[in-house]
A = this chain, B = another copy of it.
Amino acid sequence: MPRQLHLNAFLMNTGHHEASWRLPESDPYAHVDLDHHVRLARTAERGTFDSLFLADGPQLWSSVAQRPAGALEPLTLLTALATATEHIGLIATASTSYNSPYNLARKFASLDIVSKGRAGWNIVTTAGAGAARNFGLDAEPAHAERYACAAEFLDVARLLWDSWEDDTVVADKAAGVWGDDARIHPPRHRGTYFRVEGALNVPRTPQGYPLLVQAGSSEDGKRFAARYAEAVFTAQQTLADARSFYADLKARTARAGRDPDHIKVLPGIVPVIGSTEAEARRLERVLEEHIVHEHGVGRLEELLRLAPGTLDLDGPLPDGLPSEDEIEGAKSRYTLIVELARRERLTVRQLVARLGGGRGHLTFTGTPEQVADTIGRWFAEGAADGFNIMPPVLPSGLETFVDEVVPILRARGLFRTEYGPRRTLRERYGLPRPANQHVTARTPGAAPAAALVRHP
């Protein structure tokens, strides 16, 4: 069987295009409607997607006038979706800067048990002063410090997830002995950012711990991914850039002593699909016409650290913008946007339209065949192990992708036709179940154990 694609459905309210909520078909209250999300989850499962994904930041963006704001907290929503689905993975974003390791490790362990091994964690460090000010800080910690804290968070979280060996539970009713205390390993961690003494109060889970996902493409981000991540979401505008990112990340992962096959690279793509090219262009145009340009320009000025009113809608980006080193927020996204504008000689108006469509992710407009061609080409040419599918309008964009594009990918032998037996999310991505580090320390070379705790 040829190498297989992995597909992740990135869910977002009425869609990834910022004007999607204004279309007649869209429900402007979709973000707080569980049924809307159940419909999306079941559509993705019908399309045998590997996983669902929800982005997150612990703050309300500045204005609710522009588009649907607020959302259900991702772990809550994915837990509800776990009971409405059977096979699909459930990847929640959560911040290492604004959570305690003990609380967050418990929540992911609980979701992994409730979903029977389908939990994933998109690890973010959370840029921006807005979030920081919701947690007692005046400003966000510096970029490098956020990543140092994230690395320590991961080390503690993995100690917590390994604090129960798989065969801790004895359940000897006659003797009155439920568990073996010798197989409990409290972290006793005292680090720079965290002190965590005791064992987790959740047994080891079907996957051992959630699939670890990462999405930052800065230098710090790539270093972190090479060490911890099993899947990486990334924004890439060209095949050449994507290939170079892919090769770099695989090489870094090998240098970190890990199997480069054990990190899956998934660029984002916003597929604007029509049954003909003209129809696809028409949908793209309708969406663009619904963009409120003054909102987009305001956000762009903020991102580029320009005073409000500086940018000319029909001119190019000005010279003399800050370099990535001076940015403490989302570094790699900043560079991508500036380079996109320069490379394609976009006016501010055109750049706002592009960002409105996918926030820096690749937007591809065309027929189902053309979308499948692009996906297949990036996959074959060393730019991707799969894709993060970001429909511009939901639910229709996901339904079109599942009904029109997935069958083509299947016919080409690139994508599964059914889920087959129940597997964990990590198995679905072709990754091994992690060994418990305490067991490995005791018996080096032992094969990673399957879950021995019965998870009914």
Contact = CB atoms under 8 A, between A and B. Distances in A.
B203 A70 contact: yes
A292 B176 contact: yes
Given A134-B102, A198-B134, A29 B171 contact: yes
- Chain A contact surface mostly: loop
A93 to B, nearest CB: 13
Interface in A274-298: 290, 292
Interface stretch (A72-80, A344-352, A386-394, A395-403): A72-80
Contacts of A29: 169, 171, 453-454, 456
A19 B176 CA distance: 8
A76 B111 contact: yes
* Number of copies of this protein chain within its complex: 2
A64 B184 contact: yes
Interface in A163-219: 163-164, 168-169, 171, 173, 176-181, 184, 194-203
A34 interface: yes
Contact of A60 (B21, B58, B200, B290): B200
A417 interface: no
Nearest to A30: B456
A261 interface: no
Contact of A35 (B33, B173, B178, B456): B456
Contacts of A28: 169, 171, 173, 178
A66 interface: yes
Interface residues of A, number: 84
B290 A114 contact: no
A65 interface: yes
Contacts of A456: 29, 32-33, 35-36
A408 to B, nearest CB: 33
Given A29-B171, A113-B34, A198-B59, A64 B106 contact: no
13 contacts: A19-B176, A29-B169, A29-B456, A59-B201, A60-B198, A60-B201, A64-B169, A71-B202, A72-B114, A75-B107, A80-B114, A98-B103, A176-B290
Question: Which 3 A-B pairs rank lowest in CB-CB distance, beginning with the nearest?
Answer: A64-B179, A133-B197, A28-B171
Given A60-B200, A133-B198, A176-B292, 20 more contacts: A24-B173, A28-B173, A28-B178, A32-B202, A58-B102, A59-B198, A59-B201, A60-B201, A64-B178, A65-B180, A70-B202, A70-B203, A75-B76, A77-B110, A79-B80, A98-B103, A133-B195, A134-B196, A135-B196, A136-B195
